[in-house]
Amino acid sequence: MARETRDGETRVAMVPELVGRLTALGYEVVVEPDAGRGALHTDDDYVAAGATVDPAALDDADLVVSVQPLATHAARRLRRGTTTVSFLPVGGPSAELGLVADLRDLGVTSLAMELVPRISRAQSMDALSSQSLVSGYRCAIVAAGLLRRFLPLNMTAAGTVQPADVVVLGAGVAGLQAIATTKRLGAVVRAYDVRAAAAEEIRSMGAKAIELDLETLEGAGGYAREMTEERAARQRELLTPYIAAADALITTAAVPGRQAPVLVTAAMVEQMRPGSVVVDLAADSGGNVEGSVPGEVVRIGNAQVWGGRNVPAQMPGPASRLYAQNVVNLVALLTRATDDGRDGGDGGHTLDPDFDDEIVAGACVTHDGVVRHEPTRLALEGSAP
Amino acid sequence: MARETRDGETRVAMVPELVGRLTALGYEVVVEPDAGRGALHTDDDYVAAGATVDPAALDDADLVVSVQPLATHAARRLRRGTTTVSFLPVGGPSAELGLVADLRDLGVTSLAMELVPRISRAQSMDALSSQSLVSGYRCAIVAAGLLRRFLPLNMTAAGTVQPADVVVLGAGVAGLQAIATTKRLGAVVRAYDVRAAAAEEIRSMGAKAIELDLETLEGAGGYAREMTEERAARQRELLTPYIAAADALITTAAVPGRQAPVLVTAAMVEQMRPGSVVVDLAADSGGNVEGSVPGEVVRIGNAQVWGGRNVPAQMPGPASRLYAQNVVNLVALLTRATDDGRDGGDGGHTLDPDFDDEIVAGACVTHDGVVRHEPTRLALEGSAP
């Protein structure tokens, strides 16, 4: 397991609790010193779980797991044929095309967690979902903290205080979790998503589905697809009164590997009341709210606008736990039993990715000197000199 | 209505929504300019509600309402015979004996909201309760925000994340609200209060009552009474394992007009796990947690310790709304109809406190040149030269 070196990354790819799962698969688990610190796991915790701690952990590894893509200098320490498992953005504003070219040239087999197909067999490996769950909860708690009023209805001897009105845009995993959490706290929650199927999910969480007189946009893998500028403008117009009436607005509409759509203009935020709060979970990928800044709270009109920046890293404990579980499940898929342990066999296992498997084929970016992810290969060739 | 001048006070004693209740009682409502700003009410909001805005509001007032006690220079502007309604601490570390002497000498009739008796007829005037409701909610939200993990159980395709363990000490209004809010968020909540009756209330909120092998301490008006140092030491000893096991500890044990009891020593906090959070709502009045600092987050052992400082002022909107309602209800009690409006009468009212009324008698600190609150009179005479 590699130590994360990117600024602000507190998560880790393996937690002590799950080391035993990897050793059971036949792996010797070696951890870079201090690698767990961000998620409050000490080297001793890993040793107690059966791992060893070694500054040279990466040098002879068959398999390297991390949250963020390896830094180039770390990748260059890998042996030819090493497999890496991490997030590895290949599209959108944060695409890592230079690193992909390096991994290709180094003969590294790289698997990108965000490319794991969204099929039911791969649910337990879906790190985008598990991290979105963390983000969705966190942004609801952030909204409740910024909002200087009660979320729930309060009936007291001194009169009744009305519950807060919350609007959630985007009802994917993060949006639904934001809905669930603000509902738990007693807010009146309205939510909107461009996908038709979302209205039912929104209602199942106890929120009201905002229904606009617009065509729906169902895309691949349960994500929304992009829309025309005309539709986007009409959508903004129809959403304006809902946003103006909200005490808190939470936006969660991000599509992996793409620029986030601007759902809310600054002019729309300016119609909100004094004391309003906006939480833009998509600020990292361009922002659903015009003017939001990742990692900062800015003022637009009467509203405080919080821009998310690597939000899962704000809850490194559970985010790491869930990510590590995703990793373990993927690693199990990459591992083949060489002996069933009966008749005196050694019960051995070997790392042997099956590239005919839909999940492995989908997640693989580079292997054996070639870029196997087609759009990335085309992007690299397009950008080649 | 006076503008609040104390540092950090964002609440206001009257909100536009309730101005009409005072005019219906026959009062002309005059507001100092910009008085509502902290709670996001503009002068225009008050004017629209039927009040006038005047820098000289205090000079000719029959009745002055505020949250904090008036500053001495403001009190000196009052006519003899003016009535003031505000918080006015007369005991404990924040007692305002100097101001009380001034109010006495000025011939002001002063009523202290914290002295309103805790009887059922006065429930709607109980500002300590209404503000504790706000504090209790707020400190639960603060704890959820500081804690970098989920409060609820999360069962996902990538495995289960256990709910957080929360311990609440003190189960008065604030404690019960903190329990309710952390329970809503899905935490496993355990709570303790020295009063026997509290266990049932704790259980009714869905939390587990911590029962220690100690005598209970029931005091007057539903507040706990003080305990011997021997009992306090034994209580700390018995609470230690519960606190060591908690992800978040929220302490709310404060008795108005007294130094808050130290329920938790720094040594107890040092036994908490990495990532733990402590919220000490009583930090303002000395602290339930040794080492907590009002208005700051300090580190003790592995825990982040948040010390509350005028916590209701962190939610000025609802805190002001509830306080203003308490004030209106008390003012209504102080007001006598001089004419029932029939037979051509003017339906007039006059401010005419009935000092035989248990509530008025209990809340009154000074009247007509004398200190009527006996312990305060004794304290003043004791401190006289």
Strands A335-337 and A349-351: antiparallel
Overall average pLDDT of the A261-290 stretch: 96
Chain B residues with beta carbon closer than 8 angstroms to that of A133:
154, 156
- Residue A325: CB atoms within 10 Å: 25
Given a contact cutoff of 8 angstroms between Cβ atoms, the answer to whether A166 and A187 are in contact is yes
Residues on chain B bordering chain A, Cβ-to-Cβ distance under 8 angstroms:
40, 123-127, 129-130, 133-134, 137, 141-142, 144-145, 148-150, 152, 154, 156-159, 161, 181, 184-186, 274-275, 314-318, 321-323, 325-326, 329
d(CA A263, CA A290): 8
Question: Which residue on chain B is closest to A316 by alpha carbon?
Answer: B148
pLDDT tops 60 at residue A214 = yes
Token pair 């066999």 in the structure block, residue: A345
What tokens does A4 get? 């994360």
Q: Using DSSP, how many helices (H) and how many strands (E) does chain A show?
A: 12, 18
Chain B residues with beta carbon closer than 8 angstroms to that of A317:
148-149, 275
Q: Is B271 a catalytic residue?
A: no
d(CA A227, CA A310): 26
HSE, CB side, 13 Å, CA atoms: give it for residue A247: 21
| pLDDT tens figures, A320-375 | 999 999 999 999 999 988 766 566 555 678 898 999 999 999 999 999 999 999 99
Chain A residues with beta carbon closer than 8 angstroms to that of B149:
315, 317-318
d(CA A330, CA A93): 26
**Cβ-Cβ contacts under 8 Å for A22 (sequence gap 6 or more):** A14, A29, A328, A331
Nearest to A150 among B40, B318, B323 (CB): B318
* Displacement of CA B69 from its chain's centroid (Å): 14
Q: What is the ipTM of this complex?
A: 0.89
Q: How many CB pairs under 8 A join A and B?
A: 113
Please give the pLDDT value at position B169.
97
Nearest to B325 among A126, A158, A274 (CB): A158
HSE, CB side, 13 Å, CA atoms: give it for residue B362: 16
d(CA B268, CA A252): 40
d(CA B175, CA B169): 7
Sheet with B248-251, side-by-side order of all strands: B208-209, B188-192, B165-169, B248-251, B277-280, B303-307, B297-300
Please give the pLDDT value at position A343.
61
Find the distance separating the first CA and the last CA of chain B, reported in whole Å: 35
Question: Which residue on chain A is closest to B330 by alpha carbon?
Answer: A158
Contact B124 A157 (CB under 8 A): yes
Alpha carbon of A67 to those of A127, B57, B113, B232: distances in Å? 10, 62, 55, 48
Which of A161, A184, A314 should we substitute to test contact with B (largest number of B Cβ atoms within 10 Å)? A161
Among B324, B44, B362, B45, CA closest to A156: B324
Chain B residues with beta carbon closer than 8 angstroms to that of A150:
134, 137, 315, 318
Given a contact cutoff of 8 angstroms between Cβ atoms, the answer to whether B166 and B182 are in contact is yes
| pLDDT tens figures, A300-333 | 999 999 999 999 999 999 999 999 999 999 999 9
Q: For A122-230, list the strands marked E by DSSP.
A: 154-156, 159-161, 165-169, 188-192, 208-209
HSE, CB side, 13 Å, CA atoms: give it for residue A103: 31
Chain A residues with beta carbon closer than 8 angstroms to that of B132:
none
A124 or B197, greater pLDDT:
A124
Given a contact cutoff of 8 angstroms between Cβ atoms, the answer to whether B35 and B2 are in contact is yes
Please give the pLDDT value at position B197.
87
Domains of chain B are 16-125+316-371 (3.40.50.720), 135-314 (3.40.50.720)
Q: For A194-338, list the strands marked E by DSSP.
A: 208-209, 248-251, 277-280, 297-300, 303-307, 335-337
Among A116, A364, A101, A143, CA closest to A256: A116
Among A219, A212, A213, A190, CA closest to A203: A190
pLDDT tops 50 at residue A385 = no
Q: Is B126 a catalytic residue?
A: yes
Q: Is B383 a catalytic residue?
A: no
At B84, which helix (H) or strand (E)?
strand B83-86
Percent above pLDDT 90 for chain A: 80
Please give the pLDDT value at position B156.
85
Please give the pLDDT value at position B102.
95
Q: Which residues of A are catalytic?
A: 118, 123, 126, 129, 223
Three-state DSSP at B188 gives strand
Residues on chain A bordering chain B, Cβ-to-Cβ distance under 8 angstroms:
40, 123-127, 129-130, 133-134, 137, 141-142, 144-145, 148-150, 152, 154, 156-159, 161, 181, 184-186, 274-275, 314-318, 321-323, 325-326, 329
d(CA A292, CA A290): 6
Contact A184 B185 (CB under 8 A): yes
Given a contact cutoff of 8 angstroms between Cβ atoms, the answer to whether B152 and B181 are in contact is no
Please give the pLDDT value at position A341.
58
Nearest to A156 among B40, B314, B322 (CB): B322
What tokens does B280 get? 């000490």
Q: Give B265-305 as a DSSP string.
A: -HHHHTTSPTT-EEEETTGGGT-SBTT--BT-EEEETTEEE
- Residue B349: CB atoms within 10 Å: 16
Q: Give B20-40 as a DSSP string.
A: HHHHHTTPPPEE-TTTTGGGT
Q: B349 φ, ψ to 5°?
A: -135, 155
| pLDDT tens figures, A185-203 | 999 999 999 988 899 999 9
Which of B21, B120, B161, B299 should we substitute to test contact with A (largest number of A Cβ atoms within 10 Å)? B161
Please give the pLDDT value at position B227.
76
| pLDDT tens figures, A31-74 | 999 999 999 999 999 999 999 999 999 998 999 999 999 999 99
d(CA B166, CA B187): 7
Nearest to A274 among B40, B125, B323 (CB): B40
> Nearest CA to CA, how far is B105 from chain A (Å)?
33
Q: Catalytic residue, from B27, B137, B192, B223: name it.
A: B223
> Nearest CA to CA, how far is A188 from chain B (Å)?
15
Overall average pLDDT of the A23-35 stretch: 94
| pLDDT tens figures, A152-191 | 998 888 888 899 999 999 999 999 999 999 999 999 999 9
A65 or A258, greater pLDDT:
A65
Contact B158 A326 (CB under 8 A): yes
Given a contact cutoff of 8 angstroms between Cβ atoms, the answer to whether B269 and B305 are in contact is yes
Question: Which residue on chain B is closest to A322 by alpha carbon?
Answer: B158
d(CA A286, CA A304): 18
Question: Which residue on chain A is closest to B122 by alpha carbon?
Answer: A157
Which of A125, A141, A311 should we substitute to test contact with B (largest number of B Cβ atoms within 10 Å)? A141
- Residue B182: CB atoms within 10 Å: 30
Contact B133 A141 (CB under 8 A): no
d(CA B275, CA B260): 26
Contact B326 A158 (CB under 8 A): yes
Contact A159 B275 (CB under 8 A): no
A114: DSSP letter: G
What tokens does B117 get? 């008796």
- pLDDT < 50: residue spans in chain B: 385
**Cβ-Cβ contacts under 8 Å for A339 (sequence gap 6 or more):** A345, A346, A347, A348
Nearest to B156 among A40, A149, A322 (CB): A322
> Nearest CA to CA, how far is A141 from chain B (Å)?
6
Chain A residues with beta carbon closer than 8 angstroms to that of B206:
none
Q: B71 φ, ψ to 5°?
A: -65, 155
A122: DSSP letter: G
Please give the pLDDT value at position B310.
94
Mean pLDDT of chain A: 92
pLDDT tops 70 at residue A14 = yes
Chain A residues with beta carbon closer than 8 angstroms to that of B126:
157-158
Please give the pLDDT value at position A224.
66
> Nearest CA to CA, how far is B205 from chain A (Å)?
14
Given a contact cutoff of 8 angstroms between Cβ atoms, the answer to whether B83 and B62 are in contact is yes
What is the helix, strand, coil percentage profile of chain B, to 5? 40, 15, 45
Alpha carbon of A26 to those of A325, A346, A349, B192: distances in Å? 17, 10, 6, 48
B204, amino acid identity:
S
Look at chain A and count its residues: 385
